Amino acid sequence: MSTDDRATLRRQMRAKLRAFAPEVRMRAAAGVARQLDQTGWLKPGLKVAGFWSLPYELPMLIAQVGIEKAGAQYFLPILHADQTLRFARFKAGDAVRVNRFGIPEPLATESACTAADLDVILMPLTAFDRQGNRLGSGGGWYDRTLAGSTAPRRVGVAYAAQEVPALVPAAWDVPLHHVLTEQTCLACQPFSAP
Ligand SMILES: Nc1ncnc2c1ncn2[C@@H]1O[C@H](COP(=O)(O)OP(=O)(O)OP(=O)(O)O)[C@@H](O)[C@H]1O
Ligand SMILES: [Mg+2]
């Protein structure tokens, strides 16, 4: 898949997602929270990174509440100077700052950790296939962050409608272990805890 194909698919998929009705978004948000609960992963003390959903992305707020309710810890990504992501604890109501992409990140960074310190990382997707290949937003942030590490469990979060038959991964693309949609939790690649 060429760079042009990837750019075209990103544009088409975003246009499709932007057209979803508000009730479709909220139903999907509730569905993903339910699917995450049913995985059985959520345990007290588990470190789970999520993300601050962009307007066209599946809203993470209901899943976030479920994660906290299970006693697990919710983290949000923070842009780091080395062009990778760090992750800091975040609870609803905590202070945030808007980063250079216009995405809020936790202001308090005492709890900031690297991806390897997390148990589960929930990532936004633009598109995915059943093999766990992911198309993100094109910045390579998640690929750089996860390059060469076995931890954590890598989970994409997407509407079921974001599935495509096959993505051809680039050399640097890091595949997903699972994809969580409003309908199911797909197992794509085997995961063994490090
Ligand atoms: N491990 C890496 N080392 C160096 N550069 C990388 C690495 N991973 C990704 N990149 C760079 O990031 C760019 C964008 O990658 P890609 O198109 O896979 O983005 P993406 O997976 O959609 O984005 P994201 O990971 O932010 O969701 C690539 O063109 C590549 O130059
Ligand atoms: Mg990639």
pLDDT in tens, 24-77: 999 999 999 999 999 999 999 999 999 999 999 999 999 999 999 999 999 999
Query: What spacing in Å lies between the alpha carbon of 125 and ligand 2's midpoint?
Result: 10
147 in contact with ligand 1, CB cutoff 6 A: yes
141 in contact with ligand 1, CB cutoff 6 A: yes
- pLDDT in the model for residue 3: 79
Ligand nearest to the backbone CA of 125: 1
Closest ligand 1 atom to 6 CA: 17
Query: Where residue 156 falls among pLDDT bands split at 50, 70, 90?
Result: very high
Query: What spacing in Å lies between the alpha carbon of 23 and ligand 1's midpoint?
Result: 33
**In CATH, which superfamily holds the domain spanning 3-187?**
NagB/RpiA/CoA transferase-like (3.40.50.10420)
Question: Higher confidence at residue 4 or residue 95?
Answer: 95
- pLDDT in the model for residue 149: 87
Q: Quick check: 2 pLDDT over 80?
A: no
Average pLDDT of the residues of the chain: 97
User: CA–CA separation, 180 vs 39, rounded Å?
Assistant: 10
Q: Quick check: 1 pLDDT over 90?
A: no
User: Between 61-69 and 22-39, two packed helices, what is the crossing angle to 10 degrees?
Assistant: 30
3-state SS, residue 23: helix
Ligand nearest to the backbone CA of 136: 1
Radius of gyration of the chain (CA): 16
Share of the chain above pLDDT 70, in %: 100
Domain ranges of the chain: 3-187
* Placement of tokens 């590490």 in the chain: 149
